[in-house]
Amino acid sequence: MSIFHGMNTTASALTTQRLRMDVISSNMANVDTTRAKFVDGEWEAYRRKTVTLKPLEGRFSNFLNVAVGTYEKGEAGNGVKVSRINEDRETPFKLVFDPTHIDADADGYVQMPNVDPLREMVDLMSATRSYEANVTVFNANKAMLSKALEIGK
Amino acid sequence: MSIFGGTISSLEKGLDYSAVKHKTIAQNIANVDTPNYKARSANFEAIFSEAKHATVSAYRTQEKHYDFKMQPTSSNVTRFANLRYRHNGNGVDMDKEQANLATNQIYYNALIDRVSGKLNSLQTVIKGGR
């Protein structure tokens, strides 16, 4: 276990939360995008993207360190990572009646993205709060390390 | 008698515990949005007994008796496997983690302060009170 292990853990979380914010930004930016993908000769509207997180475990360096006895099994952990970015295929597209729209179907309905701005805002707040919490941890870690340097002064 | 009288090494063990505890808190807060993640906690007993290599063992008249010899466990970090705070199976209580973080920081500072105090006393003795 190195001195900066805690900082690395927190850094992984900061990266993750920032990526969540990026994905939310993408969703918000594409709230009206009707031509995101060209499928079978037709344009498909943008699909809301979601982020799946998982603990950062099972890395090669972990197993190596356990094998050579640098540290023990089941130690504090290595942080968090984004396992994948999914497209939301559960929520249906919103149908808007607009016959003048270029992507309107025969009945005059346009398929708009399944992005719900309210939901995105709630997710954004959640990501921001988690980011702030991790910044607090990082600062605490920094304070502890600088305090350790004061030994003997 | 050693010059440091065991104080520094005891404080050092305390610092070790505090560092591990901080790492678990960092891990818990990092995974506050991870589904099915369970909170972890640094185990003071395990670290301390491991550090001190306790040799006390129970007098057993039957093999079914518990042997309460403090065995250094394979891990000094415990997981709360059946704890749930959120609908996605996550077991991190953010308020508790933040409180632990603050407590741990103060504890760490206190230990550092004592190490420094001890070293300063020695310094005073070495310089002959000047």
Which range has the worst mean pLDDT, A85-99, B74-88, B93-107?
Answer: B74-88
- CA-to-CA distance for A10 and A42, rounded, in angstroms? 44
- Say if CB B108 and CB A144 are below 8 A apart: yes
Q: Where are the beta strands (DSSP E) in chain A?
A: 37-39, 42-44, 49-55, 80-87, 94-97, 109-112
- CA-to-CA distance for B123 and A34, rounded, in angstroms? 75
pLDDT tens digits along B11-37: 888 898 899 899 999 999 999 999 888
Q: Is A67 on the interface with B (CB under 8 A)?
A: no
Task: Select the residue from B4, B16, B34 to test the A interface by mutation, using most A Cβ atoms within 10 A.
Answer: B34
- Residue with token string 């016959």: A99
Confidence check: pLDDT of A115 > 70: yes
Q: Is A9 on the interface with B (CB under 8 A)?
A: yes
In A, which residues are within 8 Å of B94 by CB distance? Answer: 133
- Minimal Cα–Cα distance from B5 to chain A, Å? 17
Decide if A150 and B116 are in contact by the 8 Å CB cutoff. Answer: yes
What would the mean pLDDT of A107-136 be, rounded to a whole number?
95
What would the mean pLDDT of B42-71 be, rounded to a whole number?
64
